[in-house]
Chains A and B, each alone.
Chain A
């Protein structure tokens, strides 16, 4: 029998359709792999083993195999609500918290026939770029266990890379899907702001957060995105109308696509493997007779400053509800004020506290104009500049991150260095644009390197079409394979 955990969604569907495998076989194979490998990787905070097997068995009874994700196991980032199952955001303050409802994306996955197999690790409340800010576990990069998987969706990216799930959901506020996807050699997509419902995603920065898929291939990514996207009456910011049929529309020739190249690419401080991978991709495009044109991108330094003002401002308000009154951790004290202070003091980690303080500061009377209001102006300018670029171009090709995965502990004491690993990803969040990271090459140390494509608002189909082209010509999955030995305790 073939190894079911090596198959794409399409491959799994074929096995299931021809009765060579049943959903319980698929789920069982993944659970077995998790059992063998997750001790080393620590991608999961919680595995719903028996529940997932029950669900798979129920699917077999129900039939309805024509559903797009029939029998497909999905790992879900632990800041997305799963009814009756822990949803901790990797924070002490939500230890043992079990939401009474499912996020819209979880409902849609279940409707599509998927099986949720567990919850993945993240930086606490999705605040971080390495998954080291988890209160519960340090997730390791499957390509090199000494390295971080990136973040904040590090658990989801590592799970897909280590074959612990064919699909994982992440959330992306400033690059939290794309950067770990790049670090772990997998595909990660963030849609247009409002493309995927945020209902049930524990908010970090509401105006920037988007849920999206992390998969092994672009084709799988399109299939999952199509299943979870679309208007949700529970989310006032979700895009009205039906979503594009991405699985179908992402297939095809790209000769009509106008691809842009950042004019300052040469000036950016990129690690050589990142520069080579980026240049290699442009070369591949030229060989296909697509001539990238140079454009001036919005200033990435301004983007990241703007991002940290807006995101932290919203976070300081979004995280106010964790106060020990209603759910989650409560540290009893003799007064209400002391209870608030002790609960939040003990319940939140350092990075979360830092961001709450920064966010509170920038919204405070006397500072609002200089920080928050100014950042809103910068945001408007960035949106404008992107809009002008996308009048003439369909895609922008640029690195996902300036470096491949860094070592665990390397940046943990230097928040600014950590923040700069999001320098190329935050612009798409600020402008609400769809962006994808695909694996494009490998560094001298054997770590994957990612490439990013950004499209105009609503341009997911073109984005995926471009990504499929690059995936095919760059042949990452054919050229490089993860050495699973260390994951299973081997040498």
Chain B
């Protein structure tokens, strides 16, 4: 794949550079729809969250939701865009049954945010992917085609606020495209303005792709892929389209401007329409809404509530906690996990150990139960207490993991579980001495071999003691004591 997108002329053949731009639609987590008071929610009974406005009934008028504007501005600021002091809603006219007015209220030549960028990290290289614009618009309803050939429309989604985030054609490989989308999704989630759920369609992605001979300045003819509803689909769809275009170009053909749909079941691209059928959307300023004015004080107020975003946080975690780029990336992927980590790390004063516990035990537990960190029964202070018990040899690491599972299941504190299961580690005193005596007495041959230099048998003795103690013996202490005993 690399040779495809990078490289130069090889053996006299033209190599092509891939150029990718993304149009991402994100549903905003406002309480109500963008132009009416209907609630925004996923999965309600069809056509229950509707009113004259979002149904586009004759005479109904849109009124702009202020919260949606604030969220869009927040995204613009988080992606280094310039926020327009005046932006203008426009009607995009097209006929489709999921669009009750037969026009979408969007923004055209005066979008809300322009000229930003998103930083992505490609194997340690920071790349800036430019953003052309971010604008607000209303979502359409959903068509349901039943087996009898009848089509039904559910208008619940109609009027849900969307932001459309249009990148510049700055990506050069499928990996960069998904890397960009991962970052974009992360920003949306950090800002808590979109849940980023691609399967449910709250985050949607259309891809524009073109190839050009390596070194050319002029962009090739682009094609579009729609309906890409997972990261996997995006990567596959882009690869398919790159291969297809390269074949056409290498065969001396020309790329025609088409729109392809990704068929997720068949894992293939299906041509939807060609340029001859391109819409003339007849954009014009929406007369039912006044131009949107945003003053500096509002922009500053919104800027003030933007949290530290993932990329900055990762950098800080690496610097302040000495974490690896990988660990910092995993912990910062979700804001709440990163928050959780920081609390545990500050309580234990041991970032590396805290990070290991969270990345292994906590994240595994969440993954296997499908739970979220917000509802997780082991609070950061409880995990910190558990880590403390392991660090001070009150219990072994193995016992600690067992205790953790109980804590996650029952919501009990570590000490409670410890006592209930009798897992307190034996580190000293007669009990440990007795176990060691017994083990050494039971294995005289091994004792002899150890004394003759087979030091690796220490592990065997420790294992036997652990067995006898039911896992409660402190392995380090046990080893020390056995070595001491046999060295005499």
User: What is the interface of chain A, defined by CB distance below 8 A to chain B?
Assistant: 80-81, 87, 89, 94, 97, 99-101, 103, 198-203, 205-207, 233-237, 313-314, 316-317, 320-321, 323, 325-327, 336, 340, 360, 363-365, 368, 372
B61 at the interface (CB under 8 A from A): yes
Interfacial chain A residues near B103, Cβ < 8 Å:
317, 320
Contact B280 A365 (CB under 8 A): yes
Given the known interface contacts A236-B63, A363-B93, A363-B284, the answer about A94 and B289 at a Cβ–Cβ threshold of 8 Å is: no
A317 contact from B55, B63, B64, B282, Cβ within 8 A: B282
Q: Give the contact stretch, choosing among B94-102, B172-180, B218-226.
A: B94-102
Interfacial chain B residues near A198, Cβ < 8 Å:
59, 61
Inter-chain CA distance A302–B102, complex, in Å, is: 31
Inter-chain CA distance A205–B288, complex, in Å, is: 10
Interfacial chain A residues near B102, Cβ < 8 Å:
320-321, 323
- Minimal beta-carbon separation of A131 from chain B (angstroms): 20
- Minimal beta-carbon separation of B251 from chain A (angstroms): 33
A326 contact from B55, B284, B289, Cβ within 8 A: B55
List 16 other contacts, CB 8 Å, given A200-B60, A206-B287.
A87-B58, A99-B59, A101-B57, A233-B63, A234-B63, A235-B63, A316-B282, A317-B91, A321-B100, A323-B95, A323-B102, A326-B55, A326-B56, A326-B100, A340-B95, A364-B280
Residues 206-265 (chain B) with a chain A CB within 8 angstroms: none
Contact B60 A199 (CB under 8 A): yes
B486 at the interface (CB under 8 A from A): no
Interfacial chain B residues near A237, Cβ < 8 Å:
61, 287-290
Q: Which of B91, B97, B102, B287 has the most CB of A within 10 A?
A: B287
B52 at the interface (CB under 8 A from A): yes
Inter-chain CA distance A233–B61, complex, in Å, is: 10
Residues 286-310 (chain B) with a chain A CB within 8 angstroms: 287-290
Closest B residue to A313 using CB positions: B284
Inter-chain CA distance A202–B93, complex, in Å, is: 18
- Minimal beta-carbon separation of B485 from chain A (angstroms): 86
Closest B residue to A194 using CB positions: B290
Contact B284 A235 (CB under 8 A): no
B59 contact from A201, A233, A314, A360, Cβ within 8 A: A201
Contact B58 A97 (CB under 8 A): yes
Inter-chain CA distance A126–B100, complex, in Å, is: 22
Inter-chain CA distance A198–B91, complex, in Å, is: 18
Q: Across the A-B interface, give the 9 residue pairs with the lowest CB-CB distance, nearest first.
A: A320-B102, A206-B287, A207-B287, A363-B282, A202-B58, A200-B59, A81-B59, A202-B59, A365-B280
Closest A residue to B102 using CB positions: A320
Interfacial chain A residues near B390, Cβ < 8 Å:
none
Closest A residue to B63 using CB positions: A236
Interfacial chain A residues near B290, Cβ < 8 Å:
236-237
Inter-chain CA distance A372–B284, complex, in Å, is: 9
Interfacial chain A residues near B101, Cβ < 8 Å:
320-321
Inter-chain CA distance A84–B254, complex, in Å, is: 58
Contact B58 A81 (CB under 8 A): yes
Contact B289 A236 (CB under 8 A): yes
Contact A320 B59 (CB under 8 A): no
Closest A residue to B64 using CB positions: A236
- Minimal beta-carbon separation of B94 from chain A (angstroms): 9
Interfacial chain A residues near B63, Cβ < 8 Å:
233-236
Closest A residue to B92 using CB positions: A317
Given the known interface contacts A206-B288, A236-B62, A320-B102, the answer about A99 and B57 at a Cβ–Cβ threshold of 8 Å is: yes
B447 at the interface (CB under 8 A from A): no
Q: Which of B59, B93, B102 has the most CB of A within 10 A?
A: B59
B153 at the interface (CB under 8 A from A): yes
Contact B56 A314 (CB under 8 A): no
- Per-residue contact bits, chain B 395-425, to A (CB 8 Å; 1 contact, 0 not): 0000000000000000000000000000000
B284 contact from A100, A103, A317, Cβ within 8 A: A317
Q: Give chain A's interface secondary structure class.
A: loop
Interfacial chain B residues near A233, Cβ < 8 Å:
63
A-B contact pairs, 9 of them (CB 8 A): A97-B58, A198-B61, A200-B59, A205-B287, A237-B290, A314-B287, A317-B93, A364-B282, A365-B280
Inter-chain CA distance A203–B56, complex, in Å, is: 11
Q: Which of B60, B93, B103, B289 has the most CB of A within 10 A?
A: B60
Inter-chain CA distance A94–B93, complex, in Å, is: 21
Interfacial chain B residues near A321, Cβ < 8 Å:
56, 58, 100-102
Interfacial chain B residues near A323, Cβ < 8 Å:
95, 97, 102
Residues 29-70 (chain B) with a chain A CB within 8 angstroms: 52, 55-64
Interfacial chain B residues near A202, Cβ < 8 Å:
58-59
Q: Which of B52, B93, B282 has the most CB of A within 10 A?
A: B282
Interfacial chain B residues near A207, Cβ < 8 Å:
287
Interfacial chain A residues near B64, Cβ < 8 Å:
236
Inter-chain CA distance A203–B62, complex, in Å, is: 12
Interfacial chain B residues near A203, Cβ < 8 Å:
58-59, 288
Inter-chain CA distance A365–B60, complex, in Å, is: 28
Inter-chain CA distance A121–B91, complex, in Å, is: 30
Interfacial chain A residues near B153, Cβ < 8 Å:
325-326
Inter-chain CA distance A357–B152, complex, in Å, is: 29
Inter-chain CA distance A313–B52, complex, in Å, is: 23
Contact A327 B57 (CB under 8 A): yes
Inter-chain CA distance A100–B55, complex, in Å, is: 11
Inter-chain CA distance A200–B60, complex, in Å, is: 6
Interfacial chain A residues near B95, Cβ < 8 Å:
320, 323, 340
Inter-chain CA distance A237–B62, complex, in Å, is: 10
Inter-chain CA distance A316–B60, complex, in Å, is: 17
Contact B59 A236 (CB under 8 A): no
Contact B59 A103 (CB under 8 A): yes
Q: Which of B52, B55, B58 has the most CB of A within 10 A?
A: B58
Closest B residue to A232 using CB positions: B61
A100 contact from B52, B282, B287, Cβ within 8 A: B52
- Minimal beta-carbon separation of A352 from chain B (angstroms): 14
Interfacial chain B residues near A314, Cβ < 8 Å:
284, 287
Inter-chain CA distance A376–B324, complex, in Å, is: 59
Inter-chain CA distance A87–B58, complex, in Å, is: 9
Contact B282 A360 (CB under 8 A): yes
Interfacial chain B residues near A368, Cβ < 8 Å:
282, 284
Interfacial chain A residues near B97, Cβ < 8 Å:
323, 325, 336
Closest A residue to B286 using CB positions: A206
Interfacial chain A residues near B93, Cβ < 8 Å:
316-317, 320, 363
Inter-chain CA distance A200–B52, complex, in Å, is: 9
- Minimal beta-carbon separation of A264 from chain B (angstroms): 30
Contact A236 B61 (CB under 8 A): yes
Residues 96-127 (chain B) with a chain A CB within 8 angstroms: 97, 100-103
Contact A236 B288 (CB under 8 A): yes
- Minimal beta-carbon separation of A319 from chain B (angstroms): 9
Inter-chain CA distance A194–B52, complex, in Å, is: 21
